[in-house]
Amino acid sequence: MHAVVKRYRRPGAELEEVAKPTAGKGEVLVETRMTSICGTDVHIWDWNHWAQTRLKKLPIIFGHEMCGEVVEVGKGVKSVKVGDMVSAETHIVDGTCYQCRTGRMHICRDMKILGVDTDGVFAEYVKLPEMNARKLPPKVGPRLGSLLEPLGNATFTVMPNDCISDVKGKNVVVTGAGPIGLMAVAILKSVGAKQVIVSELGSEKVRFSLAKKVGADMILDAGMGTEALVKSVKEATDGNGADVCLEMSGAAV
Query: Residues 137, 163: one domain?
Result: no
Count Cα neighbours of 153 within 13 Å in the Cβ-side half-sphere. 18
Whether the Cβ atoms of residue 146 and residue 66 lie closer than 8 Å to each other: yes
**Domain of residue 50, residue span:** 2-146
Handedness of CA 55, 32, 135, 159 (dihedral sign): positive
Query: Residues 131, 12: one domain?
Result: yes
Query: Residues 138, 171: one domain?
Result: no
Whether the Cβ atoms of residue 171 and residue 194 lie closer than 8 Å to each other: yes
* C-alpha–C-alpha distance, residues 71 and 68, integer Å: 9
Tens-digit pLDDT profile for the chain (253 aa)? 999 999 999 999 999 999 999 999 999 999 999 999 999 999 999 999 999 999 999 999 999 999 999 999 999 999 999 999 999 999 999 999 999 999 889 899 999 999 999 999 999 999 999 999 999 999 999 999 999 999 999 998 998 877 788 899 999 999 999 999 999 999 999 999 999 999 999 888 999 999 999 999 999 999 998 999 999 999 999 999 999 999 998 876 5
| C-alpha distances in Å from residue 196, one per residue of 152, 231, 235 | 19, 16, 14
Could you give the angle at which helices 148-158 and 179-190 cross, rounded to 10 degrees?
60
Query: Residues 235, 160: one domain?
Result: yes
**Domain contains 187:** yes
Residue 9 sits in a domain whose CATH number is 3.90.180.10
**Domain contains 61:** yes
Among candidate residues 84, 114, 146, the one where a domain is terminated = 146
Taking the CA atoms of residue 9, residue 15, residue 17 and residue 23 in that order, the dihedral angle to the nearest 10 degrees is: 80
Query: Residues 124, 85: one domain?
Result: yes
Among candidate residues 120, 146, 172, the one where a domain is terminated = 146
Query: Residues 56, 38: one domain?
Result: yes
Residues classed as catalytic: 40, 43
Q: Is 144 helix (H, G, I), strand (E, B) or coil?
A: helix
Q: Write the DSSP symbol of residue 19.
A: P
Domain count of the fold of the chain: 2
Query: Residues 136, 220: one domain?
Result: no
Query: Residues 35, 135: one domain?
Result: yes
The model carries a pTM of: 0.88
